[in-house]
Amino acid sequence: MKLKIKTHRGAAKRFKKTGSGKLKRNKAGKRHLLTHKSSKQKRNMSGSVLVFKGDARGIQNALPNNR
């Protein structure tokens, strides 16, 4: 009997796969304390970026069914 590997649900909510198979994540820091931050700082915190290659391996292990 082969055991199933469970997906880490916290990682599944934070990371998504792109069409080419890379991982993307949202930027942090735009939840609270926004009044003292400049518009440029808030604008740069929006959107998503690709995960660094060195971090991607651990995230891939947390998302076994997302390959």
pLDDT in 10s for each residue of the chain, 67 residues? 888 889 999 999 999 999 999 999 999 999 999 999 999 999 999 999 999 999 999 999 999 887 6
In this prediction the pTM is 0.81
Q: Is residue 66 part of a domain?
A: yes
Domain tally for the chain? 1
Q: Is residue 56 part of a domain?
A: yes
Q: Is residue 59 part of a domain?
A: yes
DSSP alpha helices (H): ranges in the chain? Answer: 9-14, 39-45, 53-62
Q: Is residue 2 part of a domain?
A: no
Sequence-separated (6 or more) residues with CB below 8 Å from residue 50: 18, 22, 23, 24, 25
pLDDT of residue 1: 83
pLDDT of residue 66: 76
pLDDT of residue 67: 64
Placement of tokens 């440029």 in the chain: 40
Q: Is residue 64 part of a domain?
A: yes
Range of the domain at 66: 7-16+51-67
Q: Is residue 65 part of a domain?
A: yes
